[in-house]
């Protein structure tokens, strides 16, 4: 899309009044229904009696000013109307109008400057200025002079007023009463206004203006209107843009609807996003955006100041999130209870601050109603290096750009960083790209490095210090992706980068990879120790496992497990119980049993139940051992994991046999139908129960004989070792 030198010209989307008549007419592609309705009301009236006045209501950027300007042009160019009806358009910010008197004076000044009829009103403004100041009476006298001049010239006026509600707020009660009288009696003027706030006063039958103003609301653009706007923007941008949007409409119509929802269907926001994306690092649109945000700041800040103490954190949470958010999520962010939030959200909807996005259940979603207000909030209240400041742009890039398009834009971005680049735009564009989920970590590293080198060359160091870094979490995600592909060396590189950015838990994962996948105990130990140095307490447990299982270092394993328990790592209890059990530390039997019981209390799984069963048998607590064993067996039956844990089952059942629990084992083999799966163990049991089953062990095949003999020897050893 075409760009213009910063500060030299204001684009039509920000200030349509300054756009040439020809350009505005050619690009007027939306709000046609409202235009036709208002033009019909204007063109079919002769204003022989006091007329119906209108207010166009809509969020900032909805097209109010453009519509008012288009109507003003139509009146000027109408052969039928221009001979007797003079259009006057007041600018969006009329700081000089602070009273009804100054309002009439401003109208008189405009009449004097009219290119066709100005000479007929010469001296009118001066005559009004000469009126002596008197509470309320000076405004009446000013209108009398204005009205007389209009009658004398047989002219009438139609006044187009932007931000009309804010203008009327400056008027005193006396001014309002006087204006009401004028509107009810004078046929010489008509007002068409625009307002960016919800005009509840005009819906109030008790309010003095209700009978005079008809309110027309500019709602979000429909899907068709969004298409019309995009095509209009593309035609201004050139053939390539038209081709791109036409292709998107044909192949990905859902993308257009996504853009409409993202922007709230606000024309200015849609145009803004397309300009920024088209311009890249050279874009001056960010300069215009800053100017527009500055202009909007007094209004938006006043809007925030008017919120109640409870409403402010709710609006903050919604605005910072950008995407629609649930009541539950708002409650988590604000720590305000859900009922209070729901009540405040209802009020905020009435105030046009928040809009509800209905869902198919009761958990509706909420977002800031005016998307441009949300952009203002993110840009003004986001932290300096917070990529969320540009979340609105990031979401647009993710939504609009294909992967191929993104690759092309990234290449353009890197080659476009030169002295012609507009620094604020470059910084913002870089931040938005770095936040995109659809851009790979490798591409983000390229973007960051190019931007870093570019800003380092600039005299203003604030740009370099404001450049957001790639989030360490993204390196985590990339590392997991490499792990899924068993690319462990690449995963380690990503984890190391995550650790360097403060995500120190990455040292644990690096240690795990060296320990469990790459069989490198030395590097595993080194990284676990780094994690401990950074107070990642889980590393004590991992290091204990390394010393216990891989390095067979009892004393170091014991110390690490004790340190882990000291630091609250509850998964350690069953591990240290197994450590002492394996070492047959009989002097600690009771303490070990306490550890094993805590292990199950805190984390009941296969290994903790295995540990408790073993240690309870060691302590001759048969009831505890039996309960744990039955839980373990039932769990394995449910998960169908008997086969993968067959060695553990054999160990425990042999231990029960060492404790003379033959009938209990027989019962389990029958109850859980384990005879076939544990055939050697079954015949071991039959050998021990020859008195009860004198012939059953004779059924044993010769191939099992040696295994059964080994099991019987193990039973004897266990009976002696853990007596």
- Tell me the per-residue pLDDT of 537-552, one tens digit each, with 9 for 90 and over: 999 999 999 999 999 9
Residue 614 has pLDDT above 80, yes or no: yes
Percent of the chain whose pLDDT exceeds 70: 90
CB 610 within 8 A of CB 596: no
Question: Which of 136-140, 207-211, 484-488 has the highest average model confidence (pLDDT)?
Answer: 484-488
**Rounded mean pLDDT, 110-120:** 91
Q: Pull the structure tokens for residue 340.
A: 């209070």
Could you report the per-residue pLDDT of 136-183, keeping only the tens digit for each?
789 999 999 999 999 999 999 999 998 888 788 788 889 988 998 999
Could you give the CA distance from residue 539 to residue 529 in angstroms, rounded to a whole number? Answer: 7
Residue 28 has pLDDT above 80, yes or no: yes
Could you give the CA distance from residue 373 to residue 379 in angstroms, rounded to a whole number? Answer: 10
The pLDDT of residue 670 is: 94
CB 184 within 8 A of CB 210: no
More confidently predicted of 511 and 220: 511
Q: Which of 695, 697, 693, 699 is nearest to 712 (CA)?
A: 697
* CATH class of the domain whose range is 31-217: alpha beta
Per-residue pLDDT band for 211 (boundaries 50, 70, 90) equals: low
Residue 418 has pLDDT above 90, yes or no: no
Residue 412 has pLDDT above 50, yes or no: yes
The pLDDT of residue 1 is: 26
Q: Find all residues with CB under 8 Å of 471, minimum gap 6, and list them.
A: 387, 501
CB 435 within 8 A of CB 412: no
The pLDDT of residue 167 is: 83
The pLDDT of residue 2 is: 28
CB 277 within 8 A of CB 406: no
Could you report the per-residue pLDDT of 650-707, keeping only the tens digit for each?
999 999 999 999 999 999 999 999 999 899 999 999 999 999 999 999 999 889 999 9
Beta bridge partner(s), residue 306: none
3-class secondary structure, 238: coil
Helix or strand (DSSP H, E) at 192: strand 189-195
CB 326 within 8 A of CB 406: no
Number of helices followed by number of strands (H, E) in the chain: 36, 8
Residue 387 has pLDDT above 60, yes or no: no
Crossing angle of helices 622-639 and 646-658, in 10° steps, is 160
The pLDDT of residue 510 is: 97
The pLDDT of residue 138 is: 92
CB 158 within 8 A of CB 189: yes
Could you report the per-residue pLDDT of 308-366, keeping only the tens digit for each?
999 999 999 999 998 899 999 999 999 999 999 999 999 999 888 999 999 888 889 99
CB 510 within 8 A of CB 496: yes
Per-residue pLDDT band for 199 (boundaries 50, 70, 90) equals: low
**Mean pLDDT estimate for the chain:** 87
Crossing angle of helices 267-279 and 223-237, in 10° steps, is 40
Residue 5 has pLDDT above 80, yes or no: no
Could you give the CA distance from residue 530 to residue 499 in angstroms, rounded to a whole number? Answer: 10
Query: Based on the number of CB atoms within 10 Å of its own CB, is 464 exposed (0-12), middle (13-18) or buried (19 or more)?
Result: middle
Query: Based on the number of CB atoms within 10 Å of its own CB, is 662 exposed (0-12), middle (13-18) or buried (19 or more)?
Result: middle
CA 16, 300, 323 angle in degrees (round to 5)?
A: 90
- Alpha-carbon torsion angle 377, 380, 384, 390, nearest 10: 50
**Rounded mean pLDDT, 395-403:** 71
Q: Find all residues with CB under 8 Å of 427, minimum gap 6, and list them.
A: 451, 455, 463, 466, 467
Per-residue pLDDT band for 196 (boundaries 50, 70, 90) equals: confident
Q: Which of 622, 654, 649, 625 is nearest to 636 (CA)?
A: 649
Query: Based on the number of CB atoms within 10 Å of its own CB, is 373 exposed (0-12), middle (13-18) or buried (19 or more)?
Result: buried
Per-residue pLDDT band for 202 (boundaries 50, 70, 90) equals: very low
Per-residue pLDDT band for 610 (boundaries 50, 70, 90) equals: very high
Task: Output the CA–CA distances (angstroms, integers) from residue 190 to 36, 183, 554, in the order listed.
Answer: 17, 8, 94
The lowest-confidence range among 339-348, 552-561, 639-648 is 639-648
Per-residue pLDDT band for 557 (boundaries 50, 70, 90) equals: very high
More confidently predicted of 398 and 116: 116
Residue 581 has pLDDT above 90, yes or no: yes
The lowest-confidence range among 44-48, 257-261, 586-590 is 257-261
Could you report the per-residue pLDDT of 437-470, keeping only the tens digit for each?
888 898 999 999 999 999 999 988 888 988 988 9
Could you give the CA distance from residue 206 to residue 210 in angstroms, rounded to a whole number? Answer: 7
If you search the block for the tokens 């328990």, which residue do you land on?
Answer: 565
The pLDDT of residue 361 is: 87
Strands 53-57, 213-217: pairing is parallel
Residue ranges of the chain assigned to CATH 1.10.10.10: 225-458
- Centroid of chain to Cα 167: 36
Percent of the chain whose pLDDT exceeds 90: 57
Could you give the CA distance from residue 651 to residue 711 in angstroms, rounded to a whole number? Answer: 9
The pLDDT of residue 213 is: 86
**Rounded mean pLDDT, 118-124:** 93
How many other CB atoms sit within 10 Å of the CB of residue 432? 22
Could you give the CA distance from residue 285 to residue 116 in angstroms, rounded to a whole number? Answer: 37
Residue 525 has pLDDT above 90, yes or no: yes
Beta bridge partner(s), residue 283: none
Could you give the CA distance from residue 279 to residue 418 in angstroms, rounded to a whole number? Answer: 14
Could you give the CA distance from residue 153 to residue 288 in angstroms, rounded to a whole number? Answer: 42
CB 661 within 8 A of CB 667: no
**Rounded mean pLDDT, 420-446:** 85
**Rounded mean pLDDT, 241-267:** 76
Per-residue pLDDT band for 386 (boundaries 50, 70, 90) equals: low
Residue 6 has pLDDT above 50, yes or no: no
Beta bridge partner(s), residue 161: 90, 193
The pLDDT of residue 8 is: 29
The pLDDT of residue 437 is: 84
Q: Pull the structure tokens for residue 21.
A: 């008549």
Q: Pull the structure tokens for residue 497.
A: 């980068």
Residue 15 has pLDDT above 80, yes or no: no
Size (the chain), residues:
723
Q: Pull the structure tokens for residue 628.
A: 């744990």
Query: Based on the number of CB atoms within 10 Å of its own CB, is 518 exposed (0-12), middle (13-18) or buried (19 or more)?
Result: middle
Could you give the CA distance from residue 2 to residue 285 in angstroms, rounded to a whole number? Answer: 10
Question: Which of 398-407, 574-583, 698-707 has the highest average model confidence (pLDDT)?
Answer: 574-583
If you search the block for the tokens 């039932």, which residue do you land on?
Answer: 634
Residue ranges of the chain assigned to CATH 3.40.50.300: 31-217
More confidently predicted of 687 and 418: 687
Per-residue pLDDT band for 22 (boundaries 50, 70, 90) equals: confident
* CATH class of the domain whose range is 225-458: mainly alpha
What is the per-residue DSSP string for 343-364? Answer: HHHHHHHHTTSEEEE--SSS--
What is the per-residue DSSP string for 657-705? Answer: HHTT-HHHHHHHHHHTT-TTTTHHHHHHHHHHTTTT-TTGGGG--HHHH
Query: How many CA atoms, within 13 angstroms, populate the side-chain half-sphere of residue 107?
Result: 27
């Amino acid at each position: 899309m075409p760009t213009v030198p910063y500060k030299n010209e204001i684009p039509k989307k920000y200030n349509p009044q300054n756009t040439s008549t020809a350009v505005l007419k050619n690009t007027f592609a939306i709000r046609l229904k409202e235009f036709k309705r208002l033009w019909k009301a204007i063109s079919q009236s002769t204003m022989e009696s006091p007329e119906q006045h209108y207010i166009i209501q809509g969020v900032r950027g909805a097209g109010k000013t453009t519509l008012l300007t288009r109507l003003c042009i139509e009146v000027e160019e109408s052969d039928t109307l221009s001979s007797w009806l003079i259009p006057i358009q007041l600018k969006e910010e009329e700081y000089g109008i602070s009273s009804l008197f100054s309002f009439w004076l401003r109208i008189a000044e405009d009449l004097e400057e009219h290119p066709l009829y100005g000479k007929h009103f010469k001296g009118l403004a001066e005559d009004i200025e000469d009126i002596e100041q008197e509470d309320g009476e000076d405004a009446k006298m000013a209108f009398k002079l204005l009205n007389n001049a209009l009658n004398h010239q047989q002219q009438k006026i139609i006044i187009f007023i932007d931000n009309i509600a804010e203008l009327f707020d400056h008027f005193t009660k006396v001014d309002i009463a006087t204006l009401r009288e004028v509107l009810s009696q004078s046929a010489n003027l008509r007002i068409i206004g625009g307002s960016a706030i919800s005009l509840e006063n005009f819906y109030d039958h008790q309010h003095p203006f209700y009978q005079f103003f008809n309110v027309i609301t500019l709602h979000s653009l429909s899907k068709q209107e969004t298409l019309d706007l995009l095509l209009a923007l593309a035609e201004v941008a050139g053939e390539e843009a038209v081709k791109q949007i036409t292709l998107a409409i044909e192949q990905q119509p859902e993308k257009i609807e996504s853009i409409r929802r993202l922007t709230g269907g606000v024309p200015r926001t849609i145009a803004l996003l397309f300009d920024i994306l088209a311009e890249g690092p050279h874009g001056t649109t960010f300069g215009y955006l800053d100017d527009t945000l500055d202009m909007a700041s007094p209004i938006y800040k006043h809007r925030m100041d008017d919120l109640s103490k409870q409403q402010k954190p709710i609006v903050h949470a919604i605005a910072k999130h950008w995407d629609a958010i649930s009541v539950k999520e708002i409650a988590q962010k604000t720590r305000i209870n859900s009922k209070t939030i729901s009540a405040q959200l209802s009020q905020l909807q009435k105030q046009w601050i928040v809009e509800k996005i209905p869902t198919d259940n009761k958990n509706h979603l909420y977002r800031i109603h005016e998307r441009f207000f949300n952009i203002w909030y993110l840009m003004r209240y986001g932290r300096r290096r917070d990529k969320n400041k540009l979340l609105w742009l990031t979401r647009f890039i993710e939504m609009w750009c294909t992967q191929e398009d993104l690759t092309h834009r990234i290449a353009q971005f890197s080659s476009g960083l030169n002295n012609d680049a507009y620094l604020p735009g470059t910084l913002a564009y870089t931040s938005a790209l770095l936040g995109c989920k659809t851009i790979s970590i490798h591409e983000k590293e390229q973007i960051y490095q190019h931007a870093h080198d570019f800003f380092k060359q600039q005299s203003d160091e604030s740009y370099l210090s404001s450049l957001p870094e790639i989030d360490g979490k993204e390196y985590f995600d990339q590392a997991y992706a490499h792990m899924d592909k068993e690319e462990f060396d690449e995963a380690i590189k990503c984890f190391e980068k995550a650790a360097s950015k403060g995500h120190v838990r990455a040292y644990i994962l690096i240690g795990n990879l060296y320990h469990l996948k790459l069989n490198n105990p030395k590097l595993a130990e080194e990284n676990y120790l780094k994690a401990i140095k950074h107070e990642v307490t889980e590393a004590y447990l991992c290091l204990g496992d390394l010393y216990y299982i891989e390095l067979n270092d009892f004393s170091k394993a014991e110390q690490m497990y004790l340190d882990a328990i000291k630091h609250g790592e509850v998964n350690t209890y069953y591990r240290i119980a197994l450590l002492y059990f394996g070492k047959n530390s009989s002097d600690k039997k009771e303490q070990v049993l306490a550890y094993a019981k805590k292990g199950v209390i805190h984390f009941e799984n296969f290994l903790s139940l295995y540990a408790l069963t073993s240690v309870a048998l060691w302590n001759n607590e048969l009831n505890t051992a039996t309960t744990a064993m039955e839980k373990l067996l039932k769990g394995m039956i449910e998960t169908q994991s008997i086969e993968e844990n067959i060695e553990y089952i054999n160990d425990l059942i042999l231990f029960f046999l060492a404790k003379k629990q033959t009938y209990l084992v027989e019962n389990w083999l029958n109850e859980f139908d384990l005879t076939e799966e544990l055939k050697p163990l079954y015949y071991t049991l039959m050998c021990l129960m020859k008195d009860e089953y004198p012939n059953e062990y004779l059924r044993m095949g010769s191939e099992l004989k040696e295994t059964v003999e080994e099991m019987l020897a193990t039973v004897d050893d266990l009976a002696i070792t853990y007596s």
